[in-house]
Amino acid sequence: MLDNQRELLERMSADIRIQFLKMFGKLGFGHVGGCASIADVLAVLYGGMMRVDPANPAAQDRDWLVLSKGHAAPALYAALALRGFFPMEWLATLNMPGTKLPSHADARTVPGIDFCTGSLGQGISAAVGICLANRLKGQSSWVYCILGDGELNEGQVFEACGTAAHYGLDHFICFVDWNKKQLDGTLAQVQNPVDIAGKFKAFGFDTQMARGYDVEDIHACILRAKDAPDAPHCIVLDTYKGLGIDFAEEQEHNHHLVCSAEQCAAAIEEIERRLKEGCYPGGMRYGKA
CA nearest neighbour of 248 among 276, 226, 270 = 270
CA nearest neighbour of 217 among 195, 196, 235 = 235
For residue 204, the enclosing domain spans 3-286
Split at pLDDT 50, 70, 90, the class of 283 is: very low
Amino acid at 105: A
Split at pLDDT 50, 70, 90, the class of 288 is: very low
Please, what is the average pLDDT of the chain? 93
> What number is the average pLDDT over the span 263-271?
94
> What number is the average pLDDT over the span 151-176?
97
CA nearest neighbour of 19 among 201, 264, 283 = 264
Residue 62 has pLDDT above 80, yes or no: yes
Mind listing the pLDDT tens digit for each residue in 192-239? 888 999 999 999 999 999 999 999 999 999 999 999 888 999 999 999
- Total tally of structural domains belonging to the chain: 1
Contact 204, 165 (CB under 8 A): yes
Contact 177, 34 (CB under 8 A): yes
Residue 284 has pLDDT above 50, yes or no: no
Q: Helices marked H in 138-241 — which ranges?
A: 155-166, 187-191, 196-202, 215-226
Split at pLDDT 50, 70, 90, the class of 281 is: low
Q: Helices marked H in 116-239 — which ranges?
A: 123-136, 155-166, 187-191, 196-202, 215-226
Please tell me the predicted confidence (pLDDT) of residue 289: 34
C-alpha to C-alpha distance for 169 and 225, rounded to whole angstroms: 12
Sign of the alpha-carbon torsion through 102, 105, 110, 116: negative
Residue 285 has pLDDT above 80, yes or no: no
Mind listing the pLDDT tens digit for each residue in 21-38? 999 999 999 999 999 999
> What number is the average pLDDT over the span 83-91?
97
Residue 287 has pLDDT above 70, yes or no: no
**% of the chain residues with pLDDT over 90:** 82
CATH code where residue 140 lies: 3.40.50.970
